[in-house]
Structure 1
Amino acid sequence: MPEAAPPPPPVLSSASPQARITGRGILQANLNWASGVDADLDLGCLVAFPDGGGLAVQALGEAYGSLDEWPYVALDQDDRTGASADGETLRVNLAHTARFERLLFYVYVYEGAVDFRSLGATVTVTAPGAAGCRIPLDDSPAGAVACAVALVRPAVGGLSVRREARWFRPMDELWIQQQMDQAYGFGFEWTYATKPSRG
């Protein structure tokens, strides 16, 4: 008799916003959205270190990071359409959690949609030996093109993951990443970048 499939990771909600990831190995934050929607969503991570340094790991600017060396956070690919069954995945090396002050996972619409309301997007966080968690991006207000999804901090024996689900709309004077940076006090310097046309 085949083994039953494991239950899906629990959903983090406003009533139950926190999860704990323990152990070693690789933490994964996976973004998936409806393949029938012609939209380019991007998963990224703002990384802050205790010495005051930090950076963004994201497809824009080809800042894909590295898992085995600094910054110990890496993005696997840039899914431009949602057609990839694997979506986009950020990986964090749990052997180096003491090197992090905090990480902010975020998602934004690069092109192809005016907001998240019809995209069916979900971020799922998993790690070896942990139940993980899911954060559906299904409560977008009209016009919101970016979401600060989860704030991750070192905790005893691993990481704490707290659902944020904080939405952002376009502003003429600030890029989306700058808005999230200012909202969470990372203090990074930003330069303009674009991605190639989807053809």
Structure 2
Amino acid sequence: MAIDYTKRPPAGGGAPAGGGGGVNLGKVTLTKSAPSVSLTKRGATGGELRVNLNWNARPASASGGGFLKRMAAAAQGGIDLDLGCLYEFTDGSKGVVQALGNAFASRNPVGPPIITLDGDDRSGTNTAGENLRIDLSRVAEIRRILVFAFIYEGVPNWAAADGVVTMHPAGGAPIEVRLDESDPRAPMCAIALLTNAGNDLTVNREVRYVHGGQDLLDREYGWGMEWGRGRK
């Protein structure tokens, strides 16, 4: 029997969604009412933090319904949703990790990259999604990391794409941020901000939509980098 991997189960493995910010079947879900969690206080700052993005690539069904509905679905086509991040390290270096421009790793003056992106899932059907990998054994070198998603191709139908980002620390429960708000005018969404302040690494839910590309996201968060056109 074939399995349609573009259709993910609802949050909590089919169980009813819990209250805001609570632990649901081992997951911590960040919400508007409970937007932050400390990785340091949870003892989750060692090893690798895997940040996973999954979404529905073809939210509009081309089968069923009337002729106009099928035509609209065909015209919409698929969604190519990309995962990436802006980073700033304590030595002052800044950059972006994303598929666009083949920037698959952070640039570090010393040692291997702290942040890597494992690939570019253009179909949305890869069960592993897209993953950023952050080396938290070097947390002292991290000042802040802004995780974002960008619709590279397709209509910005965030509501139907049903995107979810899950952070998997080396120890402790996964941390989930659902893109449960939408803005059809915005191709960019800032999802979560990791900030290291006073030796406390925290994750804050953003889910903030940006009406532009990475350069506008940069200005919104005061990163201060120069941008040019990129391709993939």
Alignment TM-score, normalising by the size of structure 2: 0.74
Per-residue CA deviations over 1:50-109 (Å, capped at 9, x if unaligned) read 232211000001100069944400000100010100000001001111111100000010
Q: Can you give the 5+ residue segments of structure 1 that lack an aligned partner in the other structure?
A: 171-175
Residues matched between the structures, number: 186
1:35, distance to aligned residue in structure 2 (A)? 4.0
**What is the match of residue 58 of structure 1?**
98
Greater per-residue helix proportion: 2
Q: Is the 8 A contact 1:35 1:83 kept in 2?
A: yes
Q: SS at the partner of 1:186?
A: coil
Name the aligned partner's letter for residue 31 of structure 2. S
Cα distance 1:155–1:25, how it changes in 2: closer, same or farther (>3 A)? Answer: farther
Q: Is the 8 A contact 2:84 2:98 kept in 1?
A: yes
**Does 1:75 find its partner at 2:75?**
no
Write the distance in 2 (CA, Å) between the matches of 1:36 and 1:138.
17
Name the aligned partner's letter for residue 49 of structure 2. L
Q: Is the 8 A contact 1:115 1:144 kept in 2?
A: no
**What is the match of residue 173 of structure 1?**
none
**What is the match of residue 225 of structure 2?**
188
Q: SS at the partner of 1:36?
A: coil
Q: Is the 8 A contact 2:104 2:118 kept in 1?
A: yes
Q: Aligned residues: percent identity?
A: 37
Q: Can you give the 5+ residue segments of structure 2 that lack an aligned partner in the other structure?
A: 1-12, 14-23, 60-77
Q: Is the 8 A contact 2:80 2:122 kept in 1?
A: yes
**Does 1:17 find its partner at 2:35?**
yes
Q: Is the 8 A contact 2:140 2:199 kept in 1?
A: no
Match of 2:81 among 41, 58, 76: 41
Find runs of 4+ consecutive structure 1 residues off by over 3 angstroms: 66-71, 155-158
**What is the match of residue 26 of structure 1?**
48
Q: Is the 8 A contact 1:97 1:158 kept in 2?
A: no
| Root mean square deviation of aligned Cα | 2.2
**What is the match of residue 69 of structure 2?**
none
Write the distance in 2 (CA, Å) between the matches of 1:182 and 1:50.
20
Alignment TM-score, normalising by the size of structure 1: 0.86
Cα distance 1:23–1:157, how it changes in 2: closer, same or farther (>3 A)? Answer: farther
Q: Decide which structure has the larger Cα Rg and report it.
A: 2
1:36, distance to aligned residue in structure 2 (A)? 3.4
Write the distance in 2 (CA, Å) between the matches of 1:107 and 1:8.
25
